[in-house]
């Protein structure tokens, strides 16, 4: 059974490592994508990421209601963007309920990608501080329910909980 949280900084190799680990799983693989193609750059990025995954993954796009999906051999990429979507739609107060329901429904093989916000500075505005607070709390909630937690640094995995 694989239950893994991958955290780290921007462009630290989180998504690539998630794919690497998921490719070791047997059976059909699922990818729950949280990004919204809000501009041309994001559209291009989504196209590139789909190509990287290849046909081995069935992609479901869900920007808010991740708790409605139950899948095995699942990558959820990413909590950071999902939390941003909740803030954008002014539904950020629902994060814990949605995330708890998602985790309780998806008890099989799962790999979740997020960004680590605990290593940066304190933002100047209250919305950004609240975002960091909620994302940090979500990361802690997820980490507590995972068998493994990996921190990606410069493309290298550092085990925080469990071991490969």
Residue whose C-alpha is closest to residue 80's, from 146, 15, 160, 155: 15
Contact call for residues 63 and 35 (beta carbons, < 8 A): yes
130-146 residue pLDDT tens: 999 999 999 999 999 99
What's the confidence (pLDDT) of residue 120?
79
Residue 38 has pLDDT above 90, yes or no: no
Domain assignment of residue 135, given as a range: 3-161
Residue 163 has pLDDT above 80, yes or no: no
**pTM (predicted TM-score):** 0.95
CATH of the domain at 95: 3.40.50.300
Count: domains in the chain = 1
- Model confidence at 102, in pLDDT bands (50, 70, 90)? very high
What's the confidence (pLDDT) of residue 2?
95
12-28 residue pLDDT tens: 999 999 999 999 999 99
Q: Are strands 110-113 and 74-77 parallel, antiparallel or unpaired?
A: parallel
DSSP assignment of 34-81: -----SHHHHHHHHHHHHHHGGGEEEEE-SS-GGG---SSEEEE-HHH
- Model confidence at 164, in pLDDT bands (50, 70, 90)? low
Residue 155 has pLDDT above 80, yes or no: yes
């Amino acid at each position: 059974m694989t239950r893994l949280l991958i955290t780290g900084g921007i462009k630290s190799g989180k998504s690539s490592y998630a794919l690497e680990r998921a490719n070791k799983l047997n059976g059909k693989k699922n990818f729950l994508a949280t990004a919204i193609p809000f501009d041309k750059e994001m559209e291009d990025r989504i196209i590139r990421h789909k190509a990287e995954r290849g046909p081995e993954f069935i992609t479901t796009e869900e920007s808010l209601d991740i708790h409605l999906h139950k899948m095995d051999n699942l990558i959820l990429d990413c909590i950071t963007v999902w939390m941003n979507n909740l803030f954008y739609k002014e539904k950020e107060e629902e994060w814990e309920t949605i995330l708890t329901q998602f985790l309780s429904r998806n008890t099989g093989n799962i790999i979740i990608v997020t960004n680590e916000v605990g290593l940066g500075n304190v933002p100047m505005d209250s919305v950004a501080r609240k975002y960091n607070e909620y994302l940090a709390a979500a990361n802690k909630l997820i980490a507590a329910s995972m068998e493994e937690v990996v921190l990606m640094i410069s493309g290298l995995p550092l085990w925080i909980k469990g071991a490969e």
